[in-house]
Amino acid sequence: MKISNVDVKTLKEKYGTPLYIYDVNHIKRNMDGYLNYFKSNEFKTEVLFASKALNIKELIRICMEKKISLDCVSVGEIYTAIKTGFNPSKIYFHGNNKTIEDLKFALNNNVGVIVCDNLMEVECLNDLASSLNKNVKIMLRMNVGVDAHTHKFIVTAHIDSKFGVLYDSIDYKKILDIIINSKNIEFIGFHSHIGSQIFDLNAFKARAEKMVSYCKGFDKPLELNLGGGYGVHYTDADSPIPFDIVSKTLINTVEETLKAQNVKIKKLLIEPGRSIVAEAGYTLYTIGYIKKTPNKEYYFIDGGMTDNIRPALYQAKYDADIVGKENEKKDHIVTVAGKCCESGDLIIENYPLPEAKMGDLLITYTTGAYGYSMSSNYNKALTPAIVFVEDGKDKLVVRRQTLDELIEREI
């Protein structure tokens, strides 16, 4: 098996397992898909990468190359971007509970836009900006009430969500009063995000129509950030919407709604994350012991929930292959289990694979989003390396954690 003309077994010999592998050409194609189709003659457009999906220096360098902005949700993500050389004015800082220290860091590092999530944050930011004599651009995250059909833990727009402000609420009116009277805050527009791994275009259209209506009554054209959440292919049960259809649907919906409501906007933004990196990523494991019980057959791997928590957290599904046996008969219904001391440490359950032996390599697909980002040192597991491959060449971009690094902060 080869990825971007690089042999997977060679990567195992060179870097060991578990190993995250990314196809750089695939990432760039995905970025170009949004950049090429998310355009309008009626207003400016901007594509942001939702960096929580994979916030590492090498990926940020690709964003810089492609002139894609960044959505960051923590000081750590902002710090990584700045240390990579990313222009902080192109960073949008999100989060429902940014601390005073977080906000101060953003202001002192000239982060471009702070996306405020609630009344108290706006109050704190206004006081802080005044005390530091800083001017700051903000967007207001709105809870639009569009409930996308995703896993309950990744739905972010029901009425009692921890995210966003409800339109016409008392908090919303108070926020507008603060903005009007502030000398340091420049309100530039609204943001929303209705969930992740969404395949329903109607949800995106309904949200876009609501967002446009919020722009009425302001003395200047505002910006609208429609977030992300575009689904990807994990298994054949998933039906992702192509870049061109997603982009054109969003653009057309906003253009038509603006005309119908006699409103103008300055800019429309989106924040794809998963849909840029997920399908470009793979995780490579080495199979260890094989165990049969009265009702199950297990293939044990040298990774697990420490490098991919999503099956345990979201009951996420994945496809997989035994490297070199992709075309062999898949006549074993197996459960791929990790090495953590947890019964729930299962990567794939009841899945057809060929007969395996100790030392075989197992590869899981579409693991490019939230694998490394959500990895942990549970059971004192070491964080895997990340390798980027492109046109027959491989490049180590995150080295494997060492035992010394595992305890270096312990006193």
Give the chain's mean pLDDT: 94
Q: Flag whether pLDDT at 170 surpasses 50.
A: yes
What pLDDT, on the 0 to 100 scale, is given for residue 7?
Answer: 98
Domain segments of the chain as ranges: 2-18+281-367+384-406, 24-274
Q: Please give the average per-residue pLDDT across 332-359, as a whole number.
A: 97
The dihedrals phi and psi of 6, each to the nearest 5 degrees, come to: -115, 125
What pLDDT, on the 0 to 100 scale, is given for residue 151?
Answer: 47
348 in Cβ contact with 216 (< 8 Å):
no
Q: 24-274 sits in which CATH class?
A: alpha beta
Nearest-angstrom CA–CA distance, 206 and 72: 26
Q: Flag whether pLDDT at 114 surpasses 60.
A: yes
What pLDDT, on the 0 to 100 scale, is given for residue 152?
Answer: 47
- Is residue 357 very low, low, confident or very high in pLDDT (cuts 50, 70, 90)? very high
Q: Flag whether pLDDT at 304 surpasses 50.
A: yes
**Helix (H, G, I), strand (E, B), or coil: what is residue 222?**
strand
Q: Flag whether pLDDT at 150 surpasses 80.
A: no
Model confidence, pTM: 0.94
Per-residue CA distances from 142 to 148, 231, 318 (Å): 15, 21, 33
pLDDT digits (tens, 9 = 90+) for 17-42: 999 999 999 999 999 999 999 999 99
Which residues are part of the catalytic machinery?
341
pLDDT digits (tens, 9 = 90+) for 272-295: 999 999 999 999 999 999 999 999
Residue with tokens 């590869």: 363
Considering the segment(s) 2-18+281-367+384-406 as one domain, its CATH architecture is Beta Barrel (2.40)
State what percent of residues in the chain have pLDDT above 70.
Answer: 96
**CB-CB neighbours of 294 under 10 Å:** 4
- Helix/strand/coil percent split, the chain, to 5: 35, 25, 40
Nearest-angstrom CA–CA distance, 36 and 55: 23
Nearest-angstrom CA–CA distance, 409 and 411: 6
Query: Which is it for strands 69-72 and 91-93: parallel, antiparallel or unpaired?
Result: parallel
